């Protein structure tokens, strides 16, 4: 909870507002209350996102549920607690369904502070998830940028062999666009007469448990493009774990091109 809790209180009855404040004072809570009494003043108050909203269920020409709808339209996760003199279980359940974090009866305000703490904690948890998700999105974008600037083809596979990502070099090599290949089995990219051999080799690799940490393997096989043409390729398989799930990174190189590149490099070194 913040050192000083700022509360937006929607309540038309002064005595009820004082009752709520008295309960918070009894809990030794440091707070500041902005009290509003109708739709217009509530709309004005939520021009910026409130830390916490406490709202009476029924007011002249306005209601707590209407206030909730206005709040959720602008701030889907702002803490909101409904407070009423009388509210049946059905109405209370409906309020929760519409997005209220909790509901309290005015004659049972002993639950006020725990309800406030719970609503604020819920908001903090949401913000933390949002922060982590944003980090994942940024890391994913960075990794995609790096992979798309590599000369080698790179794919990631799920444990069942289906393709979960493919970089630009691999798309150009096999002449598939990303939506055309994601979810398909990796053997789609291997010449038909070489598929059984690769499937057997990949299966043995997946089942190996004799190496601690990331596993690696190198295989030479025959690749097949979307148009049916084939070419020799070297496959380097690396195992990794992502969010407790096994993933396999496939790096694809043309062994003929690699040998030519090595020879050219050796010639350059010999000349120099």
Q: Which two tokens stand for residue 99?
A: 């997005």
Q: Taking residues 206-234, what's their average pLDDT?
A: 76
Q: What are phi and psi of 69, to 5 degrees?
A: -60, -40
Q: Residue 272: pLDDT band by 50, 70, 90 thresholds?
A: low
Look at residue 272 and give its three-state secondary structure.
coil
Give the pLDDT confidence score for residue 263 in this predicted structure. Answer: 59
Of 83-87, 203-207, 213-217, 226-230, the range with the lowest mean pLDDT is: 213-217
Give the pLDDT confidence score for residue 183 in this predicted structure. Answer: 95
CB atoms within 10 A of CB 228: 8
Q: Which two tokens stand for residue 74?
A: 């602008």
For the chain, percent of residues with pLDDT exceeding 90: 56
Query: Residue 213: which region, alpha, beta or left (left: phi > 0; alpha: psi -120 to 50)?
Result: left
Q: Residue 2: pLDDT band by 50, 70, 90 thresholds?
A: low
256-268, pLDDT tens digit by residue? Answer: 555 555 556 666 6
Give the pLDDT confidence score for residue 271 in this predicted structure. Answer: 62
Give the pLDDT confidence score for residue 42 in this predicted structure. Answer: 97
CB atoms within 10 A of CB 130: 11
For the chain, percent of residues with pLDDT exceeding 70: 88
Q: Rounded to whole angstroms, how far apart are CA atoms 28 and 73?
A: 33
Q: Rounded to whole angstroms, how far apart are CA atoms 15 and 21?
A: 10
Q: Rounded to whole angstroms, how far apart are CA atoms 126 and 128?
A: 5
67-96, pLDDT tens digit by residue? Answer: 999 999 999 999 999 998 877 777 888 888
Q: Residue 213: pLDDT band by 50, 70, 90 thresholds?
A: very low
Task: Record the pTM.
Answer: 0.62
């Amino acid at each position: 909870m913040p050192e000083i809790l700022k509360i937006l209180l929607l309540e038309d009855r002064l005595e009820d507002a004082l009752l709520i404040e008295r309960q918070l004072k009894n809990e030794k809570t440091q707070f500041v209350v902005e009290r509003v009494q109708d739709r217009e003043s509530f709309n004005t108050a939520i021009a910026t996102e409130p830390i916490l909203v406490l709202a009476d269920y029924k007011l002249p020409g306005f209601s707590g549920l209407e206030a909730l709808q206005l709040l959720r339209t602008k701030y889907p996760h702002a803490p909101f607690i409904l407070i009423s003199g009388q509210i049946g279980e059905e109405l209370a359940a409906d309020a929760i369904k519409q997005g209220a974090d909790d509901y309290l009866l005015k004659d049972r305000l002993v639950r006020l502070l725990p309800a406030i703490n719970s609503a604020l904690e819920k908001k903090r948890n949401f913000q933390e998830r949002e922060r982590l998700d944003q980090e994942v999105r940024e890391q994913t974008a960075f990794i995609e940028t790096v992979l798309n600037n590599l000369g080698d083809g790179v794919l990631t596979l799920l444990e069942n062999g289906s393709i979960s990502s493919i970089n630009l070099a691999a798309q150009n090599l096999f002449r598939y666009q990303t939506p055309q290949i994601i979810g398909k089995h990796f053997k789609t990219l291997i010449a038909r007469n070489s598929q059984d051999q690769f499937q057997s080799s990949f299966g043995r690799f997946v089942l190996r448990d004799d190496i601690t940490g990331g596993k690696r393997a190198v295989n030479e096989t025959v690749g097949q493009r979307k148009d049916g043409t084939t070419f020799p390729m070297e496959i380097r398989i690396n195992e990794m774990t992502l969010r407790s799930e096994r993933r396999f990174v496939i790096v694809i190189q043309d062994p003929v091109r690699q040998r030519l590149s090595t020879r050219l490099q050796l010639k350059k070194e010999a000349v120099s």
